[in-house]
Chain A
Amino acid sequence: MSILKIDGVSKSYANHTALDHVSFDIPAGCIFGLLGPNGAGKTSLIRIITQITGADSGEIYFKGERLRPSHIKDIGYLPEERGLYKKMKVGEQLLYLAQLKGLSKADATSRIKAWVDRFEIREWLGKNIEDLSKGMQQKVQFIATVLHEPSLIILDEPFSGFDPINANLIKDEILQLRERGATIIFSTHRMESVEELCDNIALINQAKKVLDGPVKEIKDTYKTDTFQVIGNGSLMVLSPDFEVLEQHENHGVLRASIRLTNGSTPNDLLRYLIDRIEVHSFVELVPSINDIFIRKVTETHHA
């Protein structure tokens, strides 16, 4: 069941097209990567989902219903450009933003308490935002994004601005949110940063969707049955079942990339290698999302 169905959405501004008939589904309960280079149209799409702007054409369905203002309370959004009222106290600000999302004052207060205890930032509540460091502000903003327990959370470039420790903290929180059934959309141009987290992705380039689906399926589609071998010894001749793409030896250490051909399996290759060299490492070379993206983009350009 998809939580969000994007159906033929187009959006153009005065002199450029931001989105050109983009369609894809976002399954409920997954971490979804909305990937693409800068200026591809990610933020335009997010602004349509969060009802900041409207689409020129096309429809968006949230939990099967056409997107409407009452869905706002079920969506949390962390924009790429973070910002809070600088001269407002952390506690008041969280309360205000939660109430604007439709939470009652009592509910909001108790949830704020739970979150600040979790992040161990209780003593910040009475401080003005401008007195906090940038990383601290980001934490506060993250809390503000998820405080109303939305079933869809949209995070635009979530890790920019976090140090590695806080980035991990946020990563853990995101995984926990998914455990609790929330759907998370990541939008980023740094594809490698979210690859490990995402269950599904959609790639957008120049206003058009290039590719979408579960990460594993996409990778399976694009993998080339190539393995990297590291070991001692040297490979002289190979059978017709395998093709050595490249190999080089350095201080007796052999590195080689070998592709399976004629329907041979990884085990066939491994058996073949064990007889000839001392295998230290045997890894399938899976294309990164970045590689796939580049391939896909150059393909579409050439097509």
Chain B
Amino acid sequence: MHKIWLIIQREYLTRVRKKSFLIMTFLTPLLLAAFMIIPGLLISMSDENETVMVLDESGLFQGKLENKKDLTLVFVSGTLEQAKEIYKATDNTALLYIPKLTIDNPAGIKIFSKKNTSLQTKIRLENMLEKEVENQRLVASGIDREMLKGMKADISVASISLSDEGEKDNDAIVTSGAGLAGAFIIYFFIFLYGVQIMRGVIEEKTSRIVEVMISSVKPFQLMMGKIIGIAGVGLTQFLLWVILSSVVVTGVQAAFGVQATSPAQQMAQGQIAATGEEVNGEETEEEASKANSSDEIASLINAAGNLNFPLIIGCFLFYFLGGYLLYGSLFGAIGSAVDNETDTQQFMFPITIPLVISFIMSYSMVLKNPDGPVAFWMSMIPLTSPIVMMVRVPFGVPAWELLLSMALLVLGFIFTTWIAARIYRVGILMYGKKVNYKELSKWLFYRV
């Protein structure tokens, strides 16, 4: 045990003291901050007033289109050629040309501009014109717009879960967000640090230190020491990210006066944007829906508060470590079987596949039906359970399923570690041999 502890220390310390580790650890929160600040800055920079000249030959829109706070419309008269000349002499954003048309056939509208018109400006103009055409059509068919508005309905459904502990607000967005975030971190961590284990083994092999090492320690100790040491590195980095990110985010919010939002709230906002509010130019409705969505955010936060956080965090840590140990030993075995990193491809493939599939399935199937058969089986199989079960946990999973899945994961990583150790002990002393699966399977039964 003493020796394995020495190995863990070395693996941990040499990595944590590397420049690349420090840079990654400190740069990531800064990048996160940058992602928060830069879009805001960009928006405020492009927030200048635009002036669009309008030549309306149809006369349908004259005086009907309203100026917006950052978009001024200037109506001009004369021919198109004249208007173009005037436009060229100004620094107006664009020239909107409306030919003679009827509201039944509003075709042939053009935008002239010196630079390419931004999509945003184009959509806004289109929306304004569409709205006006619709208005006029409504009037023509004798319907009042106000009356129409009064007929529209906006319904938001509050979902409440009934359980033994009483009623709780719950929200599919928050629940799936929490699960997916956990699953993604596990997925990312397994890849990032699994590959580090593999590289570490290859490095020991190519630098030929390995023979010196295993004349002092058992191959199994060397392998486990490396896996555990690197897990420590990963946890350290993860923890530092969480701490530094919250420091940076708080700092940014303080400095830029951004409305203080909790991560859950940000996540919820992101989700709303992703699910897509329909972009429409009708500012009044936009505002209404904004008010609506801030109500929704409040209920999301409420729902987030109702998630069983101790359980989720506990499961996260368990599946985080379990998944890492399961895959980590396999990555170690791959490293031992090859002479350099380019040879790892053929063995990486079968390890990558279950990880990628479980992540894709989580997104496409498990979220939709967290208690369905696909979700159930994938959360039992140790190769996929760390990711799939993590997605399911926030939705509530029966205790027996959770315990069975955990037990299977423990058995799974004991098994993969056993296999990996048997490949490893042969592989680390094997040089200059192109290894295939048949060869690897023989190694399992070698007497060493």
Contacts and interface: CB of A to CB of B under 8 A. Distances in A.
Contacts, number: 60
Given A53-B448, A54-B447, A96-B10, A75 B211 contact: no
B215 A77 contact: yes
Interface stretch (A22-30, A97-105, A119-127, A209-217): A97-105
Contacts of A100: 3, 6-7, 213, 216-217
A84 B209 contact: yes
Interface string B202-232: 0110011111111111100000000000000
B235 interface: no
B138 interface: no
Interface in A188-227: none
B207 A83 contact: yes
Nearest to B425: A53
Given A54-B448, A86-B207, A101 B216 contact: yes
A235 to B, nearest CB: 57
Given A72-B216, A100-B216, A52 B14 contact: no
Contacts of B152: none
Given A52-B215, A72-B216, A83-B212, A99 B207 contact: no
A77 B442 contact: no
A93 to B, nearest CB: 9
Q: Per DSSP, are chain B's interface residues mostly helix, strand or loop, or mixed? A: helix
Contacts of A47: 429
A83 B6 CA distance: 19
Contacts of A97: 212, 216
Nearest to A12: B447
Interface of A: 14, 47, 50-54, 56, 69, 72, 75, 77, 79, 81-88, 96-97, 99-101, 141, 144
Given A51-B215, A77-B212, 15 more contacts: A14-B442, A47-B429, A50-B215, A54-B447, A77-B211, A81-B211, A82-B208, A83-B211, A85-B204, A85-B207, A86-B203, A88-B14, A100-B7, A101-B216, A144-B212
Interface of B: 3, 6-7, 10, 14, 203-204, 207-218, 429, 442, 447-448
21 contacts: A47-B429, A52-B211, A52-B214, A52-B429, A53-B429, A56-B447, A75-B215, A77-B211, A77-B212, A79-B212, A81-B208, A82-B208, A84-B212, A85-B14, A85-B203, A86-B203, A86-B207, A87-B14, A97-B212, A100-B7, A100-B216
